[in-house]
Structure 1
Amino acid sequence: MANTKFSCMILCLLLPFFLGSKADVGSLIPSSLFDKLLKYRNDNRCPGHGFYTYDSFIAAARSFDGFGTTGDDTTQKRELAAFFAQTSHETTGGWASAPDGPYAWGYCFINEQGVESTTDNFCTSADWPCVPGKRYYGRGPIQLTHNYNYGQAGKAINEDLINNPDLVATNPTVSFKTAIWFWMTPQSNKPSSHDVIIGRWTPTAADRSAGRVPGYGVITNIINGGLECGHGQDNRVDDRVGFYKRYCQILGVNPGDNLDCNNQRPFA
């Protein structure tokens, strides 16, 4: 008679091999690749040098189920390329003649540039009462802005960002979490960037009539379409596409179609 217990142990050990292990962002983006993608993030010429660490990114990424781990290998890499591209544009320190080109300078800034010269507190929603003396300007990889985004993001990641918005600029794991939260979460009538890049979003008839079709371009529309989309060529859109193409090339994936939002009307 066979040793049933022994056979079960062998089967349990071999099962992950046959079924495949659950994808992990760390296996797709090892620290050496992270350094290659964000080549100058620790350069002394970047005001945010030393802030955006690999360990903080991995810790934040692993706290969102499905981020960078949904679909096949190409889909996973394309999502990570798109995420890094959009956030690199938001934090870029690149310029036309920069070493290794302008798209090697993502993650240079933590705080919104020029905010020191304004007094705007970006308190735009009564649903999340603002704290006197606190300002909800752009911080972190996605440049989280407005009190309602700080409130919702904080609730999702279990941090009080209404009372302490500066946490997004002082705690790199929290900072990455706010960016990934925004990426994974549908906004009002907009799909999530995650659903778009993994092919889960199906545009409505209204979307198609507005030119909003699946592809990287509609993610730009989600993030900043009101300012950048629907009026022909825009340098900001070109910058987002430039980062995306660079990261896709490094990751060895095709960027796909519909990369810009030049002919897409913004989401209402």
Structure 2
Amino acid sequence: MRLCLCLWVLAFCILASDLGALADVRSLISKDLFEQILKHRNDAACEGKGFYTYEAFVNAANSFGAFATTGDTNTRKREIAAFLAQTSHETTGGWASAPDGPYAWGYCFIRERNNPGAHCTSKDWPCPPGKQYYGRGPIQLTHNYNYGQAGRAIRADLINNPDLLATDAVISFKTAFWFWMTPQSPKPSCHAVIIGQWQPSTTDTQAGRVPGYGVTTNIINGGKECGKGSNSKMENRVGFYQRYCQILGVDPGSNLDCSNQRPFNA
């Protein structure tokens, strides 16, 4: 009886270990693939040289248990590709004739460029003197209310220490995953959209918002890029996504752009 119990416990531990391995983002994107996807992030011209490491990415991703663990393998790969594509656009250092193409230059920058400003826009999160809440990190998190909410979620004081997003890679990645995983009404989360969980309402359908990668662009920057026909910023996001899907060996799906979608807050 004791032997049977020991064997059962051993089998359970092995199964739990296997499930843990399957749930870990590393089972879908190895360090070599990460390096291939973000090929020039450590270029000498990039501010982010040495900052955005694979280890920090994995550490932060595993803090959000549902990321890249929901659905079949292709769905999970698409989520990784979509997340890295959107954040690559936000941090890109590429240009049209860049070596290896413009979509090999994601994660080049940590901070928003060109005099970004303070972005202390919400009274709900009082801003200490001298602190600024411009874009930082993979998602280029902006505004004090986003810093406040993200900090509360990941247990970091980002209101008093906003530059943690530019000095601590794990925290920086965690804020990007927080934004990706968290719905902010009337917007669904990017996570829910890319895994096929989000179902458009009648209002969404009337606004041209249909399931697919394009809605994640609408969530992130729809007011400036969506419902305006073809434009370079929106197309840049699609270009990153298509390249990453190819590297990960997964079909990108349909409805990749938001050219005919009205923004959520319109």
Coarse TM-score class (shorter-chain normalised): over 0.9
Could you report, residue by residue, the CA deviation over 1:10-32 in whole angstroms, capped at 9, with x for unpaired residues?
64366459989542101211111
Deviates more, 1:27-36 or 1:200-209: 27-36
How many Å separate the matches in 2 of 1:196 and 1:259? Answer: 12
| Cα distance in 2, alignment partners of residues 207 and 98 from structure 1 | 37
Kindly state the Cα deviation for residue 2 of structure 1 after the two structures are TM-superposed.
10
Report the equivalent of 1:190: 187
Q: Write out aligned runs for 1:16-95 (5 A).
A: 22-95=22-95
Which residue of 132, 137, 140 corresponds with 2:134?
137
Are residues 16 and 100 of structure 1, via their aligned partners in 2, closer, same or farther at CA, if it must alter by over 3 Å?
Answer: same
* Cα distance in 1, alignment partners of residues 135 and 2 from structure 2: 65
Alignment of 1:200-219 (within 5 A): 200-219=197-216
Distance 1:125 1:75, change over 3 A: same
Counterpart selection for 2:256 from 246, 256, 259: 259
For residues 184-237 of structure 1, give each alpha carbon's deviation from its aligned partner in whole angstroms, at most 9, with x where no partner exists.
000121000000000110110000000001000000000000000001111100
**Among 168, 190, 207, which residue is 1:171 paired with?**
168
Aligned residue for 1:229? Answer: 226
Report the aligned-residue RMSD. 1.8
* Deviation, structure 1 residue 121: 0.9
Distance, in Å, in 2 between the alignment partners of 1:256 and 1:110 is 30
TM-score of the pair, normalised by structure 1 = 0.94
Q: 1:106 maps to which residue?
A: 106
Per the alignment, residue 239 of structure 1 pairs with 236
Per the alignment, residue 158 of structure 1 pairs with: 155
Amino acid at match of 2:228: H
Q: 1:48 to 1:13 in 2, by over 3 A?
A: closer
Structure 2 length as normaliser, TM-score?
0.95
Rate the CA distance shift 1:134–1:94 in 2: closer, same or farther, 3 A.
same
Deviations 1:63-108 (A, max 9, x none): 1111111111001100000000000000000001100000000000
Distance 1:11 1:237, change over 3 A: same
The whole-number CA distance in structure 1 between the counterparts of 2:260 and 2:12 is 53
- The amino acid that maps onto 1:262 is S
Give 3-state SS (helix, strand or coil) of 1:245's partner: helix
Q: Does 1:123 align with 2:135?
A: no
Sort the Cα spacing of 1:208 and 1:44 in 2 relative to 1 into closer, same or farther, 3 A. Answer: same
The CA deviation string for residues 246-266 of structure 1, in whole angstroms up to 9 with x for no partner, is 000000000000000000000
Q: Alpha-carbon deviation of 1:35?
A: 0.4
Give the match's secondary structure for 1:246.
helix
Query: Is the alpha carbon distance of 1:132 and 1:2 closer, same or farther for their aligned partners in structure 2, counting shifts above 3 Å?
Result: closer
Shift in Å at residue 9 of structure 1?
4.7
1:45: Cα distance to partner? 1.3
Partners in 2 of 1:252 and 1:46 — Cα distance?
Answer: 28
User: CA separation in 2, counterparts of 1:9 and 1:228?
Assistant: 54
SS at match of 1:145: coil
Q: Which runs of 4+ in 1 moved over 4 A?
A: 13-21
Shift of 1:131: 1.2
Q: What letter matches 1:202 in structure 2?
A: Q
Residues in 2 aligned to 1:152 and 1:14: alpha-carbon distance in whole angstroms: 38
